[in-house]
Amino acid sequence: MEPLTLITIMLTLLPIGFLAALVGIGGGTIVVPLLTLVFHVDIKEAIAAGSVTVVATGVTSASRYLKQGLTNVRLGIFLNTSTVLGAIMGALFTLTAPPTVLYFAMSVLLLYVGINQITTSKGEVARIERGSFAKVKGDRLARLLRLSSSYYDKASEREVTYNVTRTPMGLLASVFAGLLSGMLGIGGGVLKVPIMNLVMNVPMKVAVATSKFMIGMTAATAACIYIEAGRVNPLIVAPTVLGISTGAFLGTKVMNRVRADRLKVIFGAVMMYIGYLMLARAIYAATGIELPGCLR
Amino acid sequence: MRPEDIAQRVLTVGLAASVLLFALGLGSYLAAGYGDFPAKVLLMATTVLVATPFLTITAVIAAHVARREFYNAAVAIFVFLLMLLSVVLGLKH
């Protein structure tokens, strides 16, 4: 591979790492098509590089967000029980559901979540200012595992205390998120953030930081398999990791300074974009009609 | 030590080590072309990066046990076992 291509890959992935750290997604959904379509990397090598890249954004962001006191480690590990379980089931039963149906279902879900995040964005700031996250009573399981916590919100310059609630519903939804991510081969951050924020009374910034912590763990298992299978091309992985880690590092510097409502709007927009990509893929697979930006 | 603090330390050390190795491997490739040395260093960098989340959860388990938070330790051990199971299942497939 030409040195100029390596540098171009590095620079191209920098903004993706920034965005992934900002909204709590792994970035694999964007990295894999980018490597195959723009840099003509073999699809199998691109998927393997994508999984290592997701680990890189996860590890980079998690280390920074932990230092900022944003990540809820107990909650992340607790929810990972069901997401990893769901991902294993999803990977084992992929063949039982047609991919077109899965992509269509996922796109509808993402478009819904995207719209929901945007329409509820103003409420997030109001809840922070009124201290509403602390007024909700944490459930028994959350109290037993000490899942409730607090963080300092730099944008609103106040300590935000929150009580985690509806843990059984959060666990169930996480199984579903894991199932879909296992079936579609995506990290699942797109679903983990809204589950924590909309279902479990977790502030958006904590949900983003905790999602990044969880993603690193789940993606590492997939990356292990690709390394063992000899699918990891170190010359592709190196520039992707260096580019995306630098971007993620910069993203973590910015995230806590962004107002929570703006963060939700950015997250919603990213969800809608990924939802559209999946819808375009489903339509292409079912009818052969290629919508603008369709990634086959 | 709090689980959050130990997790942050393990993640930071793992990330720093892998980034240094990636930079070293890529630098030697750009300087002298692709050979045995850059290939080994880059593979080592990838392995260190991917091993970091496994080491993190191991450290978190130890921190919970040291603080006598046995429910949290049990949950973390369960996740660690699930991660190992998914690697084993993935390798079999």
Residue whose tokens read 């919970």: B64
- Residue in chain B lying closest to A238 (CA): B22
Mean pLDDT highest for which of A20-24, A47-51, A102-106, A243-247? A243-247
Q: pLDDT > 90: what percent of chain A?
A: 38
- pLDDT, one tens digit per residue, over B3-51 is 999 999 999 999 999 999 999 999 999 888 878 899 999 999 999 999 9
Looking at residue B12, its pLDDT comes to 96
Q: Is A9 on the interface with B (CB under 8 A)?
A: no
The predicted model gives A125-151 an average pLDDT of 92
CA distance A59 to chain B (A): 6
Cα-only R_g, chain B: 17
pLDDT for position A97: 66
CB contact under 8 A, A238 and B52: no
Can you tell me the mean pLDDT for A107-130? 86
Q: Is the pLDDT of residue A250 over 90?
A: yes
B4 in helix, strand or coil?
A: helix
Nearest CA-CA distance, residue B15 and chain A, Å: 7
Q: What share of chain B is helix, strand, coil (3-state, %, to 5)?
A: 90, 0, 10
Per-residue pLDDT of A83-117, as tens digits, reads: 888 877 876 765 566 777 778 887 888 888 889 88
Task: Judge whether residue B90 has pLDDT over 80.
Answer: no
- CA distances A231 to A51, A152, A223, B11, B19, Å, are 11, 42, 10, 25, 20
**pLDDT averaged over every residue in chain A:** 87
Nearest residue, CB atoms, B50 vs list A77, A145, A224: A224
Rg of chain A over Cα atoms, rounded to whole angstroms, equals 18
Contact B4 A73 (CB under 8 A): yes
Confidence check: pLDDT of A37 > 80? no
Q: Which residues from chain B sit within 8 angstroms of residue A17, using beta carbons?
A: none
Give pTM, 2 decimals: 0.88
Residue B40: the pLDDT is 93
Q: Can you give the pLDDT at residue A95? A: 53
